[in-house]
């Protein structure tokens, strides 16, 4: 932890996970932080309107766990105690990738699964322990305040009053962080200040989700904790079963290319029957739904290229989904948010060290680079993978993209029975290694040799005979 600078006020817009971790970092570098949130925040794990995706499955990848523990020491241990479930990948999983079932082996990768409500609650609790963070709820920003030097001087806000009305006011700040997510108005706010809006890259596989929580069947014996069934171009449906707190399952099924899963229980289970394998359906057939079926349709990969703008207002930072958002199928958003906060914190500490302990002018523009680097690492997987679906792109792919896609398709066959190749792929998907890890010479050689399996059996998953998770309550 870095001692806060003598003076300074940072405003963070949005108490999403990105907003929470960015407020944590700002608290190390300014005297006072104000976290502004449109909702009234719950004091327990509970869904709220500002995080609609919380009703769907979430994974906390290895890189995200490391980053959150750096920001809030011991947090992942607290999450496990509270009920989040460690899932060893691929030992505890039935994982069907495009190339077939992945053999189950002991690897270094552990993902934490549980509800987003539980995760956010514990991060909020830890952040509330930091004395120089103030919380301003039932309030939303409506624009940026312009400074005389062309930078940002604060935000204009609208607050809901007890009588049902609203009040507008100006809040001054030395830094403003936009963590308002996919619906961010930063591009419009920049235009209002006389700056250009960024170019955008969009890869949209036209994915729709439906999610339901189940109580496992009383006689259900299993040698797995998690099921993940990925789609192919010919079979564009996906499914995931995650263990969550209380010994329950949270299950999401996905339709692509405009197909929408049903939002009733019987239709939901029947949709699971239509996946590439009946394994998920068989698990659900004897399970009991204990929640409504919730749907979600805004899942495109959207990259706002703020780092490419030649002019940038000082004292304004954009982070999280407001900068780059991803198809939730890949479970990267939480980990990217946490890693971004760590990267920003390190960059701010280095800048202060060079500037006699003070935050230098022009810092906000320079912070776009480390933020973009974290977005790029995840984009290389999610957007690149989704661009392989013909309905997710316009026109013919460039030759380099076609060659990379062909390589990845062969890799997804090889990882089914090549432990070294599978480990490299998991290193990339867990964000603990750059995307180039799958192009190391040994992996390339394995891809060129091709898989040992010649027939893909999607019906019979690989078993781990040494484990039975029967009636487990985490």
Q: Which pLDDT score is estimated for 386?
A: 84
416 or 391, higher pLDDT: 416
CA 98 to chain centre: 22
Q: Which pLDDT score is estimated for 400?
A: 74
Q: What is the mean pLDDT of residues 90-112?
A: 94
- What does the DSSP assignment read for 145-206? EEPTTSSEEEEEEEEE-TTS-EEEEEEE-SEEEE--GGG--HHHHHHHTTPPPPPEEEE---
Task: At 447, give phi and psi (nearest 5°).
Answer: -65, -40
> pLDDT class for 458, splitting at 50, 70, 90?
confident
Q: Which pLDDT score is estimated for 49?
A: 84
Q: Minimum mean pLDDT among 85-99, 123-137, 204-218, 386-400: which range? A: 386-400
At residue 468, does pLDDT exceed 50?
Answer: no
Residue ranges and CATH numbers for the domains of the chain are 9-45+116-202+300-383 (3.50.50.60), 90-104+206-296 (3.30.70.2450), 397-449 (no CATH)
Span 424-457, pLDDT tens digits: 999 999 999 998 999 999 999 999 998 887 767 7
Q: Six-digit token pair at 61?
A: 């990848």
At residue 7, does pLDDT exceed 90?
Answer: no
Phi-psi label, residue 105: left if phi above 0, alpha if psi -120 to 50, beta otherwise: beta
Strands of 56-172 (E only): list them. 59-60, 85-89, 93-97, 100-101, 109-113, 133-136, 139-146, 152-160, 166-172
At residue 114, does pLDDT exceed 60?
Answer: yes
- Report helix angle 17-26 to 62-71, nearest 10: 40
Q: Minimum mean pLDDT among 174-188, 263-277, 297-311, 361-375: which range? A: 297-311
- Rounded to whole angstroms, the Cα distance separating 249 from 343 reads 34
Q: What is the mean pLDDT of residues 104-125?
A: 96
> pLDDT class for 3, splitting at 50, 70, 90?
low
Q: What is the mean pLDDT of residues 164-184?
A: 94
Q: What is the mean pLDDT of residues 44-48?
A: 90
At residue 260, does pLDDT exceed 50?
Answer: yes
Q: Minimum mean pLDDT among 285-289, 295-299, 390-394: which range? A: 390-394
Q: Which pLDDT score is estimated for 344?
A: 98
Q: Which pLDDT score is estimated for 50?
A: 83
Q: What is the mean pLDDT of residues 102-106?
A: 94
- How wide is the angle at C-alpha 237 spanned by C-alphas 417 and 231, nearest 5°? 25
Q: Which pLDDT score is estimated for 219?
A: 65
Q: Which pLDDT score is estimated for 471?
A: 39
For residue 101, the SS3 value is strand
Phi-psi label, residue 194: left if phi above 0, alpha if psi -120 to 50, beta otherwise: left
Q: Minimum mean pLDDT among 128-137, 146-155, 285-294, 404-413: which range? A: 404-413
Q: What is the mean pLDDT of residues 58-86?
A: 97
Q: Six-digit token pair at 19?
A: 């907003």
Residue ranges of alpha helices (H) inside 199-330 are: 265-273, 279-285
Question: 């190339």: which residue's tokens?
Answer: 99
Q: What is the mean pLDDT of residues 356-368?
A: 94
Nearest alpha-carbon partner for 421 in 394, 393, 402, 449:
449
At residue 469, does pLDDT exceed 70?
Answer: no
> pLDDT class for 170, splitting at 50, 70, 90?
very high
Q: Which pLDDT score is estimated for 48?
A: 87
Neighbours of 283 (CB within 10 A): 22
Q: What is the mean pLDDT of residues 386-415?
A: 81
pTM score of the predicted model: 0.93
Q: What is the mean pLDDT of residues 369-376?
A: 95
Task: At 226, give phi and psi (nearest 5°).
Answer: -135, 145
- Rounded to whole angstroms, the Cα distance separating 70 from 87 reads 21
Give Rg (Cα) of the chain.
23
> pLDDT class for 473, splitting at 50, 70, 90?
very low
Q: Six-digit token pair at 391?
A: 């309905």
390 or 250, higher pLDDT: 250
CB of 18 closer than 8 Å to CB of 337 = yes
CB of 452 closer than 8 Å to CB of 415 = no
> pLDDT class for 35, splitting at 50, 70, 90?
very high
Phi-psi label, residue 181: left if phi above 0, alpha if psi -120 to 50, beta otherwise: left
Q: What is the mean pLDDT of residues 395-421?
A: 84
At residue 65, does pLDDT exceed 70?
Answer: yes
| Element holding 380 (H helix, E strand) | helix 363-386
> pLDDT class for 234, splitting at 50, 70, 90?
confident
Percent of the chain clearing pLDDT 90 (strictly above): 75
At residue 115, does pLDDT exceed 90?
Answer: yes
At residue 139, does pLDDT exceed 60?
Answer: yes
- Rounded to whole angstroms, the Cα distance separating 402 from 388 reads 8
Q: Which pLDDT score is estimated for 470?
A: 42
């Amino acid at each position: 932890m870095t001692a806060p600078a003598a003076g300074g006020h940072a405003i963070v817009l949005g108490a999403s996970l990105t907003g929470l971790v960015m407020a944590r970092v700002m608290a190390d570098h300014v005297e006072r932080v104000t976290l502004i949130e449109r909702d009234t925040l719950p004091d327990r794990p509970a869904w709220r309107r500002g995080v609609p995706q919380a009703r769907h499955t979430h994974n906390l990848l290895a890189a995200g766990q490391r980053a959150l523990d750096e920001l809030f020491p011991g947090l992942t241990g607290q999450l496990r105690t509270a009920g989040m479930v460690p899932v060893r990948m691929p030992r505890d999983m039935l994982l069907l990738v495009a190339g077939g079932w992945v053999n189950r082996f002991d690897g270094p990768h552990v993902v934490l699964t549980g509800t987003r409500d539980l995760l956010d609650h514990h991060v909020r609790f830890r952040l509330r322990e930091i004395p120089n963070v103030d919380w301003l709820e039932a309030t939303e920003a409506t624009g940026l305040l312009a400074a005389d030097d062309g930078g940002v001087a604060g935000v204009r806000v609208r607050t809901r009053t007890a009588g049902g009305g609203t009040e507008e006011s100006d809040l001054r700040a030395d830094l403003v962080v936009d963590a308002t997510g996919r619906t961010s108005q930063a591009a419009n706010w920049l235009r209002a200040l006389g700056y250009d809006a960024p170019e955008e890259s969009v890869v949209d596989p036209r994915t729709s989700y439906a999610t339901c929580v189940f109580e496992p069947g009383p006689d259900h014996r299993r040698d797995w904790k998690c099921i993940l069934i990925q789609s192919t171009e010919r079979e564009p449906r996906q499914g995931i079963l995650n263990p969550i707190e209380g010994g329950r399952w949270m299950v999401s099924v996905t339709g692509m290319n405009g197909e929408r899963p049903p939002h009733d229980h019987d239709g939901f289970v029947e949709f699971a029957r239509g996946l590439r394998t009946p394994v998920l359906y068989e698990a659900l057939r004897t399970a009991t739904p204990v929640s409504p079926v919730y749907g979600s349709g805004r899942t495109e990969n959207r990259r706002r290229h703020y780092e490419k703008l030649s002019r940038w207002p000082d004292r304004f930072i954009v982070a999280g989904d407001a900068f780059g958002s991803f198809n939730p199928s890949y479970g990267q958003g939480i980990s990217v948010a946490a890693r971004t906060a760590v990267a920003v914190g390190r960059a701010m500490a280095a800048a202060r060290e060079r500037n006699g302990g003070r935050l230098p002018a022009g810092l906000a523009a320079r912070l776009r680079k480390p933020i973009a680097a974290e977005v790029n690492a995840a984009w290389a997987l999610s957007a690149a993978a989704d661009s392989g679906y013909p309905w997710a792109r316009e026109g013919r792919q460039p030759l380099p993209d076609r060659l990379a896609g062909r390589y990845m398709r062969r890799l997804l066959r090889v990882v089914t029975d090549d432990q070294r190749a599978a480990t490299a792929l998991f290193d990339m998907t867990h964000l603990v290694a750059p995307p180039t890890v799958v192009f190391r010479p040994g992996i390339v050689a394995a891809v060129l040799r091709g898989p040992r399996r010649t027939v893909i059996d999607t019906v019979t998953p690989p078993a781990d005979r040494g484990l039975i998770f029967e009636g487990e309550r985490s």
